[in-house]
Amino acid sequence: MRESNAPAQTAGRACFGAHDYNLLRNNCNHFTHAASRFLLNTDIPEDIINMIPTLLNTPLGRMMQPMLEQMTTGPHTQVTQRVQESCVGLTSTKTTLSEDEEGDLITIQAMM
């Protein structure tokens, strides 16, 4: 079995918790970039990292920005509960991996 990096897990929860998602500033692309840097020590492509800023720099993007902001910062109702339930694996405090879990992690790294 292999020990994981508990401080990195804590930092990840601080940045990518259920209540931290923001479509424009802290979305799945940001998470993927952070995960790629942590797991593989490599960045994801710039066009993915800059997808939202590129969109917002277009006339249509500027027109949509207020609506997207409102959708992102609007009231958190049942969505929050569903997000919390779906993030259980991301917020685990587990510090070791079984051989099967380590194999799964290696497979995921190879796919990235």
Tell me the average pLDDT of the chain.
73
- Other beta carbons less than 10 A from residue 102's beta carbon: 14
User: How many angstroms separate the CA atoms of 82 and 42, rounded?
Assistant: 31
Report, as an integer, the average pLDDT of 81-86. Answer: 46
Angle, helices 6-15/28-40, rounded to nearest 10 degrees: 170
Q: Give the bridge partners for 96, in sequence order.
A: 3
Q: What is the pLDDT of residues 16-66, one digit of tens each?
A: 887 888 888 888 999 999 999 999 999 999 999 999 999 999 988 888 899
Which DSSP symbol is given to 26?
Answer: B
